[in-house]
A and B are shown apart, each in its own frame.
Chain A
Amino acid sequence: MSDTASVSLALREKAERRRSRLLTLPAVLVITIFGILPLLVIVAFSFMSPGAYGGVEPPFTLEAYVSFLFSRDIFDDTLTFTPDYVLIYLRSLTFALGTTFVCLLLGFPTAYFMVTRPVESRKWWLLLVTIPFWSNLLIRTYAIMFIIRDEGLINNTLIGMGLINQPIVMLYTNFSIVLGLFYSFLPFMVLPLYSSLEKLDFRLVEAGYDLYATRSRVLWRIIVPMAKPGIVAGCLLVFIPTIGAYVTPLILGGGTHLMVGDLIAQQFGSSRNWPLGAAQAIILMAGVLVALFFYVRTTSEAKLHG
C-alpha cells in the first residue's frame, strides 16, 4: 500500500470515529442529565447539614451516615448503636425478597404456559399480562384496597354467602403489602421469563424425557438452567423496585409497617432532614448495586456455560 493511500485510510478511520462519537452524544447527554447529575446532587446532599426548614447547608459532614447507625447523646455527644433504620431496611429487604419469590413462583408457570400456547395466540396472552401497566399504580393499589378491606368485595361476598360471620382482616397486614407489590410487579417477572423461555428449544425437553428424566427432573435439570438469564433478570426487575417501593406499602400497609420508601420520604418531608434522606437513598442504592453486580456475574457465567 502506498503512503498516500495509508494516510487517506487513516484519515477516513479518524472521521469514522468522530462520526460514531457524535452518534453516541444523545445517549451520553441523556445519561448525564437524567442519571449522573441527580445522583451527584444526592451524594452531595448526603454529606451536608440539614437546613432549619428543609434543604441543605454547609458545613460538609459525615453526620448523616453516622446517624444512620448511631444516635448521638445530646448532652455528652457519645454515640450509641441504634438499629432502628437497619431494621427498617431489613424489613424492606424481607418484603422485597418475599415479593420476588412469590412473583417467581407464580410467574414461572405463567410464562411457561404462555410459551407453550400456539404462536398466534401468544400475543394475546402477552397483552393480558401487561394490562396492569395500563392504569395508574395508585388506582390499582386503591382497587386492591377496596377488594380486600373489611367491608370489601371478598369479605362482603363471603359474609353474604354465610361462610363467615366476621370479616377476615386482610388490609393493613403483611399479606396486603406483598399482595399489592406482587400485583404491581408481576409483569416485570413474567416478561423476561417469557422471553428466555421462548428461546428454549423444546427438543431439549424431549431429549430429557428420552434420557429417562421425569417431568420434575426435566424442569430442574434442563428448563430452569436454560431459563436462568430470564429468572435472574426477572428477580432483579422485581426486587429493585420493591425494596424501595413507596406508594403500595403506604396505602396497603396503612403506615403500620415503616419501609425504606416511607423512611426516605419522611426525611425529605416532615423530618426536614434532607442529608439523612439522601444518605438513606445512597445506602439503598449501594445495596441494589451489590445485587446488580451479582446479576452481571451470574449472567456472564451463564453465557460462558450456555
Chain B
Amino acid sequence: MTVLESRQGLEIHHVGKVFSQPGRPDFRALDDVSIRIRPNEFFTLLGPSGCGKTTLLRMIAGFEHPSEGEIRLDGADISVKAPYERPVNTVFQSYALFPHLTVEDNISFGLEMLRRPKASIDETVTRMLALVRMTEMRNRKIQQISGGQQQRVALARALAPHPKLLLLDEPLSALDLKLRKEMQIELKRLQHETGITFIFVTHDQEEALTMSDRIAVMSAGRVQQIGSPRDIYDRPANRFAASFIGETNFVTVKLLTVSATSGELELPGGTVIHAGVPDGVKFSPGKATIVVRPEHAELVGAGAGNLAGTVTNIVYFGTDTHYHLRLKDESSFIVRRQNRHGLSFGPAIGDEVGVLIGEGVAQLVED
C-alpha cells in the first residue's frame, strides 16, 4: 500500500441507523449518510439538537454499529470493530474524566492500555500537559480543577495516544462565552500542532463557521450540504442549510431559464436578475426560491433598485443596523447595513424604500 492509499481518511459510506426499542416503533436516527473526511481536516457536523450528530459520532467511535452502510478508516472497514480496536479517541460532552484518578493518570490511561513503555508514557504526558497548558495541575484530583481545566484534561487524554481521528461532541457547550471563545482558538491551535483529523460536533452555526475547514449540515438524520464555511454561507444548497446558517431572506421568484451554474429569474416587482445555482442541484423553470443574505442587499431610495418595500422596524446593533422591510407581496425582508460615518441615506420606520440585489448576490435554493 502506498503512503497515499494509507492516508485516505474517513469514509462514511451510505450509513443509516435505526434504533429499535421494545414496545416502541423503530426510530430512524440516520438516513443514507455519506461523508468523506480528509486527513488533517477540521471537519464539523452541524445541525439542530436531535438531528443525529451524536449517533454518527458514536458510530465512528464504535459505541454504536451502523444498521446500513460502511465506515472505512484509511481504506479499512471499521464498522463492526470494538471502540478499543479503533485508532480513534473521543472528547466527551460531559468530559467523562475518571474521578478516581489524578490529572496525570487520566492522561496516561490510554497509553497504559496500549502498553506503551513507562518512559514514553511519562514523556507523552509531560508533552500533553504542556500542550494544553496544564503542567502545574499534573497531580491534582479531577474534583480539584475547574470546568475549563477539566475540558483541557479531556482533550489531553484523548490526544495522548495520537489517534487518527479525534471526535469532539459539543465540547464547548458547557463553558461560558468567554472561555468558549478562548477554547475555539485553542482547539484550532491544537489541531494545527498535532496534525490530527478533528471531527467536531456543534449546533452553534457561528462556531462551525469560524472553526471548520469543512462543514456537513445535518437535519433529521440526513446530510443537507457538505462544503467549506464559505460555500455553505454563500451558496446554501437548500432552504434548511440557508436558514440554519446565518440570517437570510427567502424570496419567491419566477425562474425563466436555468443552466447548471446560473438561472435567469423574475423578481416579485417584475425585474429580471441572475442567480447562482448550488452544486449538483437541478432546477426547472417556474416557481422557485432564492436566498439573499441581509448584508448582501443594498438599501436605496424608493423607486430605485429591483425590489420595493416599506420599513417596518429598525434595530441598531452598534457595528451595523438591521432594517426590517415588508415587500409588496407581504413577505418580509431584512437588509443589514454597516454603520459607517457619513451615511447620508437613513430611512425611518414607515418610509418607502427600494432594495438593490446586485449581480451574483442571489442564490437559487431547493425548497
Q: Which of B84-135 contact A (CB under 8 A)?
A: 84, 88-90, 92, 94, 96-100, 109-110, 113-114
What 1/0 flags go to A25-65 for Cβ under 8 Å of B? 00000000000000000000000000000000000000000
A147 to B106, CA, bound (A): 51
Q: Is B141 close to A, CB under 8 A?
A: yes
Which of these binds chain B: A97-105, A190-198, A205-213, A255-263?
A205-213
Q: Could you tell me if B141 and A210 are in contact, using CB atoms closer than 8 angstroms?
A: no
Q: Which residues on A sit within 8 Å (CB–CB) of B263?
A: none
What 1/0 flags go to A109-143 for Cβ under 8 Å of B? 00000000000000000000000000000000000
Q: Which residues on B sit within 8 Å (CB–CB) of A160?
A: none
A209 to B98, CA, bound (A): 13
Q: Could you tell me if B63 and A206 are in contact, using CB atoms closer than 8 angstroms?
A: yes
Q: Is A162 close to B, CB under 8 A?
A: no
Q: Could you tell me if B84 and A209 are in contact, using CB atoms closer than 8 angstroms?
A: yes
Which A residue sits closest to B90, measured CB to CB?
A210
Q: Which residues on A sit within 8 Å (CB–CB) of B53?
A: none
Which B residue sits closest to A306, measured CB to CB?
B100
Q: Could you tell me if A217 and B113 are in contact, using CB atoms closer than 8 angstroms?
A: yes
Least Cβ–Cβ distance between A70 and chain B, in angstroms: 48
A306 to B141, CA, bound (A): 9
What 1/0 flags go to B55-96 for Cβ under 8 Å of A? 000000111000000000000000000111000111010101
Candidates B82, B89, B141; contact of A305 at CB < 8 Å: B141
Q: Could you tell me if A207 and B113 are in contact, using CB atoms closer than 8 angstroms?
A: no
Q: Could you tell me if B100 and A207 are in contact, using CB atoms closer than 8 angstroms?
A: no
Q: Which residues on A sit within 8 Å (CB–CB) of B157?
A: 211
A213 to B84, CA, bound (A): 6
Q: Is B161 close to A, CB under 8 A?
A: yes
Given the interface pairs A217-B113, A305-B141, the reply to whether A209 lies near B63 with Cβ below 8 Å is: yes
Q: Which residues on A sit within 8 Å (CB–CB) of B83?
A: 206, 209-210
A76 to B229, CA, bound (A): 103
Q: Could you tell me if B113 and A212 are in contact, using CB atoms closer than 8 angstroms?
A: yes
Given the interface pairs A203-B94, A217-B113, A305-B141, the reply to whether A210 lies near B100 with Cβ below 8 Å is: no
Least Cβ–Cβ distance between A197 and chain B, in angstroms: 14
Q: Could you tell me if A211 and B161 are in contact, using CB atoms closer than 8 angstroms?
A: yes
Q: Is A237 close to B, CB under 8 A?
A: no
A110 to B110, CA, bound (A): 29
Which A residue sits closest to B61, measured CB to CB?
A210
A225 to B114, CA, bound (A): 20
Q: Could you tell me if B84 and A214 are in contact, using CB atoms closer than 8 angstroms?
A: yes
Q: Which residues on A sit within 8 Å (CB–CB) of B114?
A: 212
What 1/0 flags go to A215-226 for Cβ under 8 Å of B? 001000110011
Q: Which residues on B sit within 8 Å (CB–CB) of A222?
A: 98
Q: Is A204 close to B, CB under 8 A?
A: yes
A306 to B101, CA, bound (A): 8
Q: Could you tell me if B82 and A209 are in contact, using CB atoms closer than 8 angstroms?
A: yes
Q: Is A201 close to B, CB under 8 A?
A: yes
A203 to B141, CA, bound (A): 19
Q: Which residues on A sit within 8 Å (CB–CB) of B61?
A: 210
Q: Could you tell me if A305 and B100 are in contact, using CB atoms closer than 8 angstroms?
A: yes
Q: Could you tell me if A204 and B82 are in contact, using CB atoms closer than 8 angstroms?
A: no
A222 to B109, CA, bound (A): 11
What 1/0 flags go to B160-185 for Cβ under 8 Å of A? 01000000000000000000000000
Candidates B62, B82, B98, B141; contact of A207 at CB < 8 Å: B98
Q: Which of A283-306 contact B (CB under 8 A)?
A: 302, 305-306
Most buried by A among B82, B92, B94, B113: B113
- What are the nearest 6 A-B pairs in CB distance? A211-B110, A212-B113, A207-B96, A209-B83, A203-B96, A306-B100
11 contacts between A and B (CB under 8 A): A206-B96, A207-B90, A210-B63, A210-B83, A210-B158, A211-B109, A214-B84, A221-B109, A222-B98, A225-B100, A306-B100
